[in-house]
Amino acid sequence: MVPVTRGTPLLTSWHCGGGGSKAVLPPVSIVWPCSLSVEEYASTGRTLEFPRPDCPSCLKKMTFWSGYQRQIREDGRCRSVWVPRVRCDRCRATHALLPAFVLVGRLDVVETVGAVLEAVVEGPGGVRPAAANVQVPHTTVREWLRRFGSRASELAVTFAALAAELGGDVITPLPDAPRSALDAFRGAWRAVSGFPGWLGVGRWRFVSAVTGGRLIATNMNTPYLIVGKRRFMPPVP
């Protein structure tokens, strides 16, 4: 793993939010690109040195403000993990600081969701085999696919634009929107993985970080790329 400091000049030109250049993230969650395994993160608990992000509204450094325990599932096993909260003294808003393996409103880690999306969208199998392979109910997997399918077109456009912004290859849209989105994820990941620290984070956590953990959430603001406004939070070992 490549060590990364707060001053690393990484992805300084874009930020994901909603509502255009004056975007304000909803006071729900901020996702940081955690490279720890779920087990490592869970065992560290509150002693982990969490990053201290800027406020999504006023860009001032936030302070830690307690936190809470939540459940996360990986390989059929549930663990309790600590999620700190951060607060902006100026805006009086608080946000949950989620590691990138967590998706908003979902029990399963993003790698599980990503594996299912790829298996069903691009593979020869169906929903039930994919669900059984990751030990998740097939009804849950159907819901993941429905949510993903409903926003696949905008995700494909957003990640293709991000790949170009990061100096990657031009991604040609595919006729099938879900396939096109998965292809755009890979293109943006190829572009970003050359930056210090990102290779250790992994592709699906990168996707989670860009979407603010709302890849398949019930509601998701359209991702926007805001150039020159703020520094994207770098990976933290």
pLDDT for the residue 174: 87
pLDDT for the residue 28: 65
pLDDT for the residue 220: 57
Contact between 55 and 91 under an 8 Å Cβ cutoff? The reply is yes
pLDDT for the residue 15: 34
pLDDT for the residue 115: 96
DSSP assignment string, 18-80 = SSGGG----TTEEEE-B-S-HHHHHHHGGGS----PBPTTT-PBPEEEEEEEEEEEETTEEEE
pLDDT for the residue 183: 96
What spatial distance separates the first Cα and last Cα of the chain, rounded to whole Å?
8
pLDDT for the residue 97: 93
C-alpha to C-alpha distances, 64 to 34, 55, 76, 77, 236, nearest whole angstrom:
17, 12, 31, 29, 17
Report pLDDT digits (tens) over 20-39. Answer: 333 333 446 889 999 999 99
Contact between 123 and 147 under an 8 Å Cβ cutoff? The reply is no
pLDDT for the residue 82: 96
CA dihedral (172, 176, 181, 182) positive or negative: negative
What global pTM score does this model have? 0.82
Which residue positions in the chain have pLDDT lower than 70? 1-28, 219-237
